[in-house]
Each structure stands twice: as C-alpha cells, then as structure tokens.
Amino acid sequence: MIKTILTHVDGGAEQDSRLRAVFHLADAYAAHVVGSADTGIGWLDYALLTGAVAVTTAGPDFEILRGAARTRLDMFEEAARRAGVASFESRLVEDETRYALLLQSRYADLVVLSRGAEADPVQPLRARALPDHLALHGARPVLVVPPDYAGRPLPGTAVVGWDGSMQAIAAIAAALPLLVRADGVRLALVNPEPSGDLHGEQPGADMALYLARHGVRVDVVVERTRATVGAALTGLARDCGAGLMVTGAYGHGRYREWMLGGVTRELLERAPVPLLLAH
C-alpha cells in the first residue's frame, strides 16, 4: 500500500504538475503527504565556505536560505489545503537536496519528483537531475511526473517494461499497489529472445501469471521493432492512452555514479505520462 508520499518542494516551474499527481494519489490511497524543502547546503559545506565561526553564529546568509525554504513550504501547505488533502506535513531540512531526500525517502512508500534538471547548487560539476540520483541510490520507488501532467487519473492503463532483469522485478513489485487498480496493464517486451535465464519458453508469460495472481488485469505485448526500447515503450504508451509507465532504473555500468543507462535516460526524457522507476 501507499501510505506515505514524499515530494520535493522547490518552488520551480514543474511543481504544480508534480503536486497534482501527489494530491491525486493521496486521495486515492488515503496517504499522508510529506513536503520537503531544503536550504540546499549542509552545515559542513557552510563551514567550508564561511568558516566555523559563521556556522556557530548562524549567519544572515544561512537565515536567508531558511526563510526561502519556509516560504516554499507555506505555499505547499496552502496548495494541500485547497486540494482537500486530509493528512500532510512540511519539513525544512538544512542539507543539500539529494541527501535530504535520500534520508527522508527511507520512511516513505513513494517519492514523487519532476523530470527537470534540478541540480546540486553547491557542486555544479556533479550536478544531476534528482530522479537519476534518487532512483539509483534510494531505497524507494520514484514517480517522475512530466511537466504537462494535468491531473488525469493515475494509473489508468499502465505500460510496464519487462526484460527479465532484477531492476524490472523491483519496479513491478514497487508498482503493485498502482497496478492492481489499473484499468489494464500492458506488459511490454521489446525484441525479446527466449532464454531460460530470463524469460522461459514464452517471454512474458510467467510474469503475466504472477501479476494476474495479484489481481492485475494484464496483457502481454511483444514489440518487434528497429526502434530503441525507450521509443517503443513510449510509443505503446501513447497508442493505448496510458496514464502510467513502469520500468527498472538501470545504471550505466561502473559509471553508475554519473549517469543512468540509455533506456532509462530516454524514458525520463520522452515518457508522456508519469514514470515509476525502481532499482
């Protein structure tokens, strides 16, 4: 079940679409919503920049950061009240965004973010979009909301990318509370090859049976195409009017610290509907 939803309150251009998804899920699952805003800089970073004395006196620059975060949280709370959210809270964290969300995500069922490039303001050379970092390093699934999400039902019809991998298994397990409520699920395999290690004699059949036993209305769709996996999955989502996509988050080999794999990156950039990722 989804009982605690964590979302980032950054005041950015994509926040409204993100909160629409959060509030919709909170209503559907009677879930508690946690809005997290941060100063963007931790005490250690502040000490390195300004000296230990400034830290102990909590200088005016740091208070400005706190004040800006509080203002964003006030706006979040007002939006939650207007949406009729029954249970919510706001948290101000004095840390860099990625670390603040990673810590809090341990105690949530779902993290909801936007796909925009929300970068680390302190370490620009290591800047990355938040979904990349949370999906690869966090313990909870991440729902990535596109900027034009207007509040259509979640999940509606769901497209689930299935390739037999551990990442895909993790994503399906994380998405089960949504999939059992879906109007229908398209379990999509792109150019699968029969393999005893991954698919068995009939690719997709075993996973479809697993989902059906959970009460999921599922159909197996095998795509034979020269397009990329990401393009095939997004095309299927558009064709069936999907409201949700689900896929594993794949790291790029030993460079996982720096980038996602090509399929996941393509889906983040092109998914026309909210995309649930898990690693």
For the chain, domain boundaries? 4-145, 157-278
Kindly tell me if the per-residue pLDDT of 120 is higher than 60.
no
Residue 150: exposure state from Cβ atoms within 10 A (0-12, 13-18, ≥19): exposed
List, for residues 143-162, the tens digit of each pLDDT value: 999 999 998 889 999 999 99
Of 62 and 1, more confident: 1
Average pLDDT over residues 240-249: 95
The dihedrals phi and psi of 147, each to the nearest 5 degrees, come to: -65, -20
pTM across the whole model: 0.88
Tell me which CATH homologous superfamily contains domain 157-278. HUPs (3.40.50.620)
Cα-Cα-Cα-Cα torsion 121, 125, 131, 136, nearest 10 degrees, comes to -130
pLDDT tier for residue 125 given thresholds of 50, 70 and 90: very low
pLDDT tier for residue 58 given thresholds of 50, 70 and 90: low
Does 4-145 carry CATH code 1.10.1060.10?
Answer: no
Q: Which two tokens stand for residue 76?
A: 């979040």
List, for residues 29-46, the tens digit of each pLDDT value: 999 999 999 998 876 666
Q: Which two tokens stand for residue 127?
A: 């800047």
CB-side exposure of 57: number of CA atoms within 13 Å? 8
pLDDT tier for residue 49 given thresholds of 50, 70 and 90: low
Average pLDDT over residues 216-231: 94
Kindly give, in sequence order, each residue whose CB lies less than 8 Å from that of residue 226, ignoring residues fewer than 6 positions away: none
Find, among 1, 12, 149, 134, the residue nearest to 68 by Cα: 12
Kindly tell me if the per-residue pLDDT of 16 is higher than 50.
yes
Rounded CA-CA distance 122/273 in Å is 31
